[in-house]
A and B are shown apart, each in its own frame.
Chain A
């Protein structure tokens, strides 16, 4: 497959195309006569990135197990005997391997469709060049991240992704809620980022100093050499407490970006950004970065058994934690946002159980049906101007295409047999089930995940029934919605098809080579079939319950005296997690900050001012030595000579004597 070899060498163009788009739109967008023109430029470049990305993925699928690493040393430094004995490199490079090829499809296809959709959706917005520049930067960062061939480069792009999300969530920065949501997202993910960086340091310190890993630092902390992990047999074999801690740090980083418990609070608030941004960042790509990180670590660096249990716990608990909050919410975007957190929990769960590929399989299908749900929700919001489900109703008649698109997304999300989400979710459950023997604590988290299947089907169909079924909107003042123009419809159409059939791709032999490893595509043994039947039944049950309570324009009212009212309040207040963080922030961090501020103002600033004054007066004093008189200068030279002589002959020997020979 010589043709693909040269293609893989050009992988760096994938992030470069959107970068060109960014430069053109960012620098010249404001000068263009028509604002949309800049948008089309960005769309064109992301289209080129998509074509190249998909071509590379196809090439990778046709040449199974190929690892193509192209890298440039930024700086190579020698080491010492005790640290980095083979030297130390900082490297930038691209690694095309099966999983990055898979991610290239996800990021660039969804990215391109969202960009195309935005042309119409953001039509009236005055910040259009800024929007497209930021969206392009986001694609640069995401493509750079998935193509990184070493940990440091990965972290660089990881941070860039974080910055982009800050820009995009705060796109409507004049709105206080958007500005604070952007800050919240940045700060909460930052907690994870810092721990992630610490984890990187621990890996460096652990592996790069031991004998087998000495070459690792010299290589620039590469993930692989050829098709095997760079650290070879070190991966997964070690079980030291330090490595467990490093693994937990990676989990923390992933939990921040992928909004896992307890760092999940930012994602629902991030819905303050444009809905298209939510589709791109908070459904399909940015949150995928965390799961991708876990997959990369589990493949190339290795988790210990304790790490895996922690990952299973976080993922399993997050599924039901987020799903339960979605059950009562009446904001169409937030319902979808909670479902994202919950679905990410499935992916994390699978990686924790030791099936990184199964997690990525679910990531792949989820990207399409979640982007579809967001874009469909965006079309609804665009048409009726509200996000409140209780005001909607009967939109299925006027917005037929949108309604069907949302329905397909909902069916896929709830795991309706045959749809994309069905295969991958089923695969996750079966994979975890196959590992329940590993530790007794796997069971409860598997049960969480199973219960979530029911909740998921319930809340997403509740949303669908509330919005689209019935005869007319519950709020009569709502404008009459209609389907969107083609630039918005086309992405919905493409994503609908993908949301329906993407799960089947795994059964194509060549495609499944992008997900090498056990359990992809799903294998159906006898116990798995029982599990499948149970989860499919739970999903159908959820849909049924939703129909009974909300179908055909019904609105289910919880009796006011019901003991469940209390639970509903707790869920609506999001388990008081945000309040708890706010309380900690106000009473802990803020007080600490006040104390620090005091120290800063009086102790640090004071001493800095003191130092400044000291230096200034020193400077003033010494300036007088610059007399301009040449004989003075000669005197300095001679004084210096005498000083050096005295130092040589008397001071230095004395120093070496007292230090014991130096």
Chain B
């Protein structure tokens, strides 16, 4: 391993610097939202390019900050961090969602109060997520999650005027604090069982294990604590109220960004190079020797059941929602269920499929929330029924929203189809291995749920295209504005999302093969 260099953390440093700059500008009396926004967009774009360069995208190699020998080499027994290519992919995912949201928020009112708080916190939250992606130690991981957590609690209530936003922030904070406590308690139990919180130490059972049950209880606490972030049922209830009550751009960031951080934490703890699931060798500490114990079947079964419950419940509850944001919130919960399929299976193809699903979800779900934010800025109400005739009155916006919904439903030629296809076929493939026929039912549950979900997405399309517009709703935006009241930043963000959805749906191979390689590394160095 090369000697540690601070340049390895340049992408993270950009974000930290930008966050501090935003707060500094605020203190210096700058009030223009565009100034803060420009800093945030610049920093996230720059770090995104650096991360893509680190992933081995040669045209950008001059921006690369990591020596290739560091990536995928694993961490040491005392490391706090380790770079994996899958972690870099996730950094790309986090930065993409931050970039989309900060770009779209440029179109918020120019002198909005709290713009500096919003952008500063957005950058801090992204920084926390970036650190999650390079964790090699349970405590480091949980602290990084907390950095993001605290920033996002504040973001939900940053306007300080909106009672619903404040209420949502309070709920988010209380439940978040509870789950953090559970996570740390789980980590302390694992420390008790293994004598370390370093993931490598845990994964190799170096410290020996004195009590399987103690470790199992630790895992259970960890699953619950992380499940809160991923919105697994029954730890999901906060998500609907928060996504609904938060400013919609923040909802986009929560659904598109921070939720994925939880998924990656699951990857790290339960699958990756540092997976703690298998205690491989017979270890003797003192006079007590213990046989190897495989926790994997138990955890796989639990995560698989949670996946099924989560996607089914999310979809069923989405069916009857009358409000657009709540419908999207429930659909986001069900999407978490699909991602959990990949974690439960844990093979390289399944991980690759789940990762593509996560990348897709940034563009389709965050994109959808950004559209909703734009539409409500025009003066359209929160109900689905109030989107009447959007497709006819705003053809471009309508097509963009329709593509996002179709992608969420998994219709071919959108990325949502490709990722589900890969994920479910990986499940079927894994089920051909003896003793894992259970995975087949995960694929079946996923397929049935996809079919069910088409129902509520199609209902929105029907409202948008088949019902005539409500003349009283100012769908057209102010006259003379070429973006029709959306603003350039938001239009650009929506366009980016749509381009990504279609490009990855029509020709997924280049991006997918990078993800596939990363996932294979991740699993191979773990087994």
Contacts and interface: CB of A to CB of B under 8 A. Distances in A.
Interface of A: 72-80, 82-83, 615-616, 618-620, 622-623, 625-626, 628, 630, 632-634, 636-637, 639-641, 643-645, 647-649, 652-653, 655-656, 662
Nearest to B426: A77
A634 B234 contact: no
A616 B318 CA distance: 10
16 contacts: A75-B418, A75-B508, A76-B512, A79-B429, A620-B320, A626-B237, A630-B170, A630-B171, A637-B178, A637-B179, A637-B234, A641-B221, A643-B234, A647-B302, A648-B298, A662-B297
A640 B227 contact: yes
Given A616-B319, A623-B317, A637 B228 contact: yes
B301 interface: yes
A637 B175 contact: yes
Contacts of B435: 662
Contacts of A636: 234-235, 237
A83 B430 CA distance: 12
A224 B337 CA distance: 42
A79 B349 CA distance: 9
Contact of A77 (B228, B298, B422): B422
Nearest to A615: B316
A649 B212 CA distance: 10
B285 interface: no
A633 B317 contact: no
Contact of A622 (B174, B302, B317, B349): B317
B224 A637 contact: yes
A648 B212 CA distance: 11
B174 A76 contact: no
Contact of A649 (B216, B223, B508): B216
A75 B417 CA distance: 12
B359 interface: no
Nearest to A659: B435
Contacts of B348: 78
Interface string B219-241: 11101100110000111011011
Interface string B288-324: 0000000001100110010000000100110110000
Contacts of A626: 237, 240-241, 317
B509 A619 contact: no
B472 interface: no
A619 B320 contact: yes
A82 B432 contact: yes
A414 to B, nearest CB: 49
B60 interface: no
A623 B313 CA distance: 10
Contact of A634 (B174, B298, B418, B452): B174
A224 B298 CA distance: 47
A404 B145 CA distance: 85
A633 B237 contact: yes
Nearest to B237: A633
A363 B453 CA distance: 50
A85 to B, nearest CB: 11
Nearest to B435: A662
Contacts of A633: 171, 175, 237-238
Contacts of A647: 302, 305
B317 A619 contact: yes
B509 A622 contact: no
B182 interface: yes
B518 to A, nearest CB: 14
Interface string B508-520: 1100110010000
Given A82-B432, A644-B220, A637 B235 contact: yes
A278 B426 CA distance: 47
A74 B508 contact: yes
Contacts of A80: 429, 432-433
A74 B503 CA distance: 12
Nearest to A627: B237
A652 B302 contact: yes
Given A80-B432, A644-B223, A652-B302, A639 B509 contact: no
Q: Which 6 interchain pairs have the tightest Cβ spacing?
A: A633-B237, A640-B234, A652-B298, A619-B320, A636-B234, A641-B224
Interface in B407-427: 418, 422, 425-426
B237 A632 contact: yes
Contact of B509 (A74, A625, A634, A640): A74
Interface in B167-189: 170-171, 174-175, 178-179, 182
Contacts of B452: 615
B178 A634 contact: yes
Interface in B394-450: 418, 422, 425-426, 429, 432-433, 435
B527 to A, nearest CB: 15
Contacts of B298: 648, 652-653, 656
Given A72-B509, A623-B317, A662-B297, A645 B217 contact: yes
A616 B213 CA distance: 41
A73 B305 CA distance: 35
Nearest to A643: B234
B57 interface: no
B9 interface: no
- In this complex, which of B171, B223, B509 has the most chain A Cβ atoms within 10 angstroms of its Cβ? B509
A625 B237 CA distance: 8
B197 to A, nearest CB: 20
A647 B300 CA distance: 12
B224 A644 contact: yes
B290 to A, nearest CB: 17
B320 A75 contact: no
Contacts of A618: 316
Contacts of B305: 647
A331 B445 CA distance: 58
A122 B500 CA distance: 42
- In this complex, which of A83, A618, A637, A656 has the most chain B Cβ atoms within 10 angstroms of its Cβ? A637
A157 to B, nearest CB: 16
B132 to A, nearest CB: 21
A547 to B, nearest CB: 59
Given A75-B418, A645-B217, 4 more contacts: A76-B512, A619-B320, A622-B317, A645-B220
B183 to A, nearest CB: 11
A196 B432 CA distance: 28
A77 B349 contact: yes
B330 to A, nearest CB: 10
Nearest to A92: B507
A639 B234 CA distance: 8
B449 to A, nearest CB: 12
B220 A648 contact: yes
Interface in B137-179: 170-171, 174-175, 178-179
A63 to B, nearest CB: 30
Nearest to A625: B237
A662 B150 CA distance: 41
Given A75-B508, A637-B228, A662-B297, A622 B237 contact: no
A78 B508 contact: no
A622 B313 contact: yes
Interface in B447-486: 452
Contacts of A619: 316-317, 319-320
A622 to B, nearest CB: 6
Contacts of A616: 319-320
Nearest to A618: B316
Contacts of A632: 237
Nearest to B224: A641
Contacts of A637: 175, 178-179, 182, 224, 228, 234-235
A616 B426 CA distance: 31
Nearest to B172: A630
A225 B219 CA distance: 52
A509 B452 CA distance: 63
Given A78-B349, A80-B429, A622 B217 contact: no
Contacts of B220: 641, 644-645, 648
Contacts of B223: 644
Contacts of A644: 220, 223-224, 302
